[in-house]
Structure 1
Amino acid sequence: MDHIVTVQEAVTAFEPWMEPTDAELDAIDAEMPVIRAEMELLDAQIVVIDRTPCELDERRIRRARRRVLAAHRDHVNGLSGQTGGAA
């Protein structure tokens, strides 16, 4: 009979080289406004997933879409300013 065991070392091993670098963490930090805006849009869409949206729901979704677009615009403009190129 073969026993099924977990390989503890493979499951819990976190070597220092597996951690995100400071540059990766900075990139995530810079993109957080976009992530938050997209989460807000998703929340607004989830609310109306099983019902007909009322006028207030439609306004909330439109506002969330505009925030996503503005966050993307600001993020891309910030990136182009860092690299010195034009977007």
Structure 2
Amino acid sequence: MEHIVTVQDAVTAFAPWMEPTDAELDAIELEMPVILADVDLIDAQIITLDRTPTELDTRRIRRARRRLLTALVNQAADAHRGGAA
């Protein structure tokens, strides 16, 4: 009979000694405006899943898309300049 066991590293992938590095935290901080704008867009889209979008819903989605695009453009410009100014 063959026993099935879990791999300990896979179960405890985020042990206390595996903290993110400063570079990883900096990368997350640089991406945070894009992440938040993307969450806003997803929230606006989720609201309209079970109903016909109203004019307000349409405007909310449009604004969220613009915020996401602006955040992406700013992130690309920062990366092109070589990091945060």
- Say whether the fold is shared (TM-score over 0.5): yes
Unaligned runs of 5+ in 2: none
TM-score (norm 2): 0.79
Q: Distance in 2 between matches of 1:46 and 1:30?
A: 26
Over alpha carbons, which structure has the higher Rg?
1
Q: Residues 37-66 of structure 1, C-alpha deviation per residue, up to 9 Å, x if partnerless?
A: 000000000000010001110000000000
Q: Distance in 1 between matches of 2:35 and 2:82?
A: 20
Classify the secondary structure of the residue corresponding to 1:20: coil
Aligned amino acid, residue 56 of structure 1: L
User: Structure 1 stretches (4+) deviating beyond 6 angstroms?
Assistant: none
CA RMSD of aligned residues (A): 2.3
Unaligned runs of 5+ in 1: none
Q: Distance in 2 between matches of 1:48 and 1:15?
A: 40
TM-score (norm 1): 0.77
Following TM superposition, by how much is the alpha carbon of 1:19 offset from its aligned partner in structure 2, in angstroms? Answer: 2.1
**In the comparison of the two structures, how many residue pairs are matched?**
81
Matched residues, percent identical? 60
More helix by share: 1
Partner of residue 23, structure 1: 23
